[in-house]
Amino acid sequence: MKKIYIAIVLILASLLIAPKFIGSMVETERQRVLAKLNETDGITLTTSQYTGGWFGADVVSEMKIALKDNSINEVTIIVEEDLSFGPVIITEQNWHLGLGYSRVKFKFTALELDESIVDIINEKLHVGALLSFSKEVTTFINTDKISYQDVDSVIVSEPSSAQFTLINNEHISGDFSWGGLDVKGQDERLVIGAVGMSTKQKIVSGDYLAGTAILTGNATFTVAGLNVYNDNSKVFSVDGAALTSEVSLENDLLALALNYQAKEISASGQYFKEPNVAILLANIDVHALQELNTTMANLSVNASGQYDSEESLKALSAVAEKILAKDPNLKITDLSVVTDEGKIASEFNFNINKDLFDSADLNSMALIKALEADAKGKAPMAFLSKLGMAPMVDNFVKEGYLNRQDNDITVEAKYVQSQLTVNGKAFQL
């Protein structure tokens, strides 16, 4: 029995002593992240006060963010941190095992916002960060229900919750959920239903904190519904929308697969089911893209806060040939909706012919001359007739630009060397 008591006493003693030693580790890691953030262009974060104790510390820092638009003053935010040292950390929401936990409050001191909006941000936004024993950083972002009213509108934002983990500045994973938004104006209204997002990505090149990272992995974004009203009449709606993306890397070539789908959509009196868009961007040279990312991150901006156009063109010219050398390709493999009369579907394929492209001339005409594309599509004749397009469609069928097969109208088109052909016939734009 004595051994058990001794063990308990030793555990309690270690829990009491450990925070003092862990505190120095937390501060060292904090200084490392601080230095990394200060390397980011446009952000300056300085600590003005650090009051350390046995189990935690109170920290006050000043963050200055220089905006791209020079007509707007830089944003100054006072960051107040309540640090708790591990190994056992108890927070308002939960308890954790780790090296440290930071509860963060923001105070905007040089931002031209309505005072009530600043109060809402300060009171309703809750941010915390957990530093694990393996030095993974998990950020928790929560907002309470927010209601705001001015003369012309009422805004109600439901609670939200987010949790993202950054591992060794190489892996990112996390989830986000939001109850939705209701914005009421005098004659208009916007209602967004529950929103969800999840992601799991890996940094394959560049630096996340510096804003130059290239990531692979997947992400999913969902919206239960979106409705727009005008004079109490619904003018646009989407139900059950989902957007998924997957970025992969093979043989130093990136590929992006993007897919959007929904249960139904209505707009301007038209109603469709199962709208779908599937896009595939392939053969992107990761080294050339990283070179472009790094160059763009270091570009200067002009008086209006925009990138200098001449400098931007030079940056693009420097990597254009490298990117085109790998024959990048853009495909829309499915662009379709289902109507009451049947399915409308199409697909597209785009390439830039590197032999016809002058990388020193990056204007729109140079791109059009080098563009090569082909497309296929079909639509039910009954749907086109409902829109009053039957005479025009019949005329194109007669001229050979469209095909009619049973109840469907089909078409194939190609665009090569500035010449468009439809069903094999030259078409003058």
Where residue 78 falls among pLDDT bands split at 50, 70, 90?
A: confident
In a 3-state reduction of DSSP, which class is residue 70?
Answer: coil
The ranges assigned to domains in the chain are 1-144
Across 221-225, average pLDDT: 95
pLDDT digits (tens, 9 = 90+) for 139-182: 898 999 988 887 788 989 999 999 999 888 789 999 999 999 99
Count of other CB atoms within 10 angstroms of residue 376: 13
Tell whether the model's pLDDT for residue 220 goes beyond 70: yes
Yes or no: say if 384 and 394 are a contact pair by the CB < 8 Å rule: no
* Partners of 176 in the β-ladder: 162, 197
- Of all residues in the chain, the percent with pLDDT exceeding 70 is 82
In a 3-state reduction of DSSP, which class is residue 383?
Answer: helix
pTM beyond 0.85, yes or no = no
The dihedral region occupied by 84, where left means phi > 0, alpha psi between -120 and 50, and beta the remainder, is: beta
pLDDT digits (tens, 9 = 90+) for 377-414: 999 999 999 989 999 999 999 999 999 988 899 999 99
Q: Given this model, what pLDDT does residue 177 score?
A: 96
The beta-carbon contacts of 258-266 under 8 Å, at least 24 apart in sequence, are 262/238, 263/239, 264/237, 264/238, 264/239, 264/240, 265/237, 265/238, 265/239, 265/337, 266/234, 266/236, 266/237
**Please, what's the b/e burial string for 142-175 (b: 16 or more CB within 10 A of its CB; e: otherwise)?**
bbeebeeeeeeeebbbbebebbbebbeeebbbbe
pLDDT digits (tens, 9 = 90+) for 288-316: 888 887 777 666 655 555 566 666 667 77
Across 354-377, average pLDDT: 79
Q: Given this model, what pLDDT does residue 41 score?
A: 66
Average pLDDT, whole number, for the chain? 82
CA dist list (Å): 107 to 59, 79, 110, 153, 365: 13, 7, 9, 26, 49
Q: Given this model, what pLDDT does residue 10 score?
A: 38
pLDDT digits (tens, 9 = 90+) for 240-266: 999 999 999 999 999 999 999 999 999
Nearest alpha-carbon partner for 331 in 354, 351, 357, 304: 351
Q: Given this model, what pLDDT does residue 305 score?
A: 53
Report how far residue 398's alpha carbon sits from residue 409's, in angstroms, rounded to the nearest whole number: 12
* Partners of 238 in the β-ladder: 226, 265
Q: Given this model, what pLDDT does residue 307 score?
A: 60
Q: Which position has the higher pLDDT, 260 or 234? A: 260
* Partners of 293 in the β-ladder: none
